[in-house]
Amino acid sequence: MTVRTLEVRLAERSYPVVIGPNLLQQPEHLVPYLSQRRVAIVSNETVFPLFGAKLKEGLGRAGVQPVDILLPDGEEHKTLNSLERVYDALLRHGFDRKSVVLALGGGVIGDLAGFAAATFQRGIPFIQLPTTLLSQVDSSVGGKTAVNHPLGKNMIGAFHQPRIVLADTSTLTTLPDRELRAGLAEVIKYGLIRDPGFFDWLEASLPHLLARDGSALTHAIFESCRNKAEVVEADEHEQGERALLNLGHTFGHAIEGALGFGTWLHGEAVGAGMVLAARLSHQLGLLGAGDLTRTERIIGAAGLPVEMPDITAEEMLGFMEHDKKNQDGAIRLILLRGIGKAYVDASVSRAVLIDFLKKRR
């Protein structure tokens, strides 16, 4: 399969997103972005045994001998304690401002390692090496880095763009089915918020994606990254259009927080959250019944939840009130006026939300 590349154009912070098979074993993609040969591979105890040796072998051929920093696997470890472990290792090994962090893993590792790079010695370079579908299509692109707080997801973080994103599609062959389905939630999101043609393609191609067809996956990753790059280029720090990328996330983050981080995968919670956003949009008279049905159908067909778990409306609202997108005390939701027509709405009252959430249980 061919390698596909696109550019995230952010002036002096621009960087390529390279998509294709076996990229971790091709150091020529990485070496030009290393300001020195001192690099740290931040990964977890699940991903590193699968891909760490391949990455280190390629880097070794280029004269790079990295330090491994391994963390426990799971959203529940996306914490300040894990962040401190990364700082400790970087300090012990004498890393400086020209050292580079390589984030090898899914969204948790990418977010955490990126935040460590953003804050170590006031910021050092990092490179995204995403190994899950969710991280390849979403979290590795755009420069959002963070860790969780008990009161909310991604509450402590910074914008810090990577030097390059290397999405090795070969890593998806080892991805558990549940993780693959979770990644599809973020793929579907791009069709719902801004790309109805892509949504049409996803409806027709979903069986091929679930079967891990290489060409279909590469196309889905490329189109997702293209959509995200265009949004990030227009609104890097989420002052406007970039907020639309959070479709389903206000509900989804509340589900994750109320259940306990790691109980549902992020993509599972986002899938259910997008259905909730579509149903609320329909209840408010914004979204037609046909588009609601299409939304529910594709998320269900992807094997994602389409109903809330056993959480009270009050619990959900409590987490939604701590969502980082809120402004001036108002809950900001991403709602739909149609497939590909998302917008930000801060006018839905708490009373309406409580009533809506109670009906969902």
pLDDT digits (tens, 9 = 90+) for 175-196: 999 999 999 999 999 999 999 9
pLDDT at site 193: 98
Minimal CA–CA distance to 268: which of 359, 152, 193, 184?
184
pLDDT at site 105: 98
pLDDT at site 246: 95
Using alpha carbons, list the distances in angstroms from residue 291 to 31, 99, 199, 284, 287: 46, 49, 11, 14, 7
Domains belonging to the chain, first-starting first, are 4-174 (3.40.50.1970), 178-359 (1.20.1090.10)
- Local structure of residue 330 (DSSP, 8 states): B
CA 163, CA 33: separation in Å to the nearest integer? Answer: 6
> For 153-182, how does the pLDDT look when each residue is reduced to its tens digit (9 = 90+)?
899 999 999 999 999 999 999 999 999 999
pLDDT at site 234: 94
Question: Residue 30: left (phi > 0), alpha (psi -120 to 50), or beta?
Answer: alpha
Q: For a pLDDT cut of 90, what percent of the chain falls above it?
A: 92
Cα torsion angle, 346, 286, 341, 359, sign: positive
Lowest mean pLDDT among 9-18, 301-310, 326-335: 326-335
> For 289-299, how does the pLDDT look when each residue is reduced to its tens digit (9 = 90+)?
999 999 999 99
Between 361 and 104, name the one with better pLDDT: 104
pLDDT at site 38: 85
pLDDT at site 323: 79
CA 223, CA 110: separation in Å to the nearest integer? Answer: 20
Instruction: Quickly state the pLDDT bin for 1 (edges 50, 70, 90).
Output: low
Q: What is the mean pLDDT of residues 206-230?
A: 97
Minimal CA–CA distance to 224: which of 268, 194, 265, 267?
194
Between 192 and 324, name the one with better pLDDT: 192
pLDDT at site 322: 84
pLDDT at site 109: 98
Q: Torsion angle of alpha carbons 35, 40, 46, 50, nearest 10°? A: 50
Residue positions annotated with a catalytic role: 122, 144, 186, 228, 238, 242, 246, 249, 253, 266
pLDDT at site 361: 60
Residue 328: burial class (beta carbons within 10 Å; 0-12, 13-18, 19+): exposed
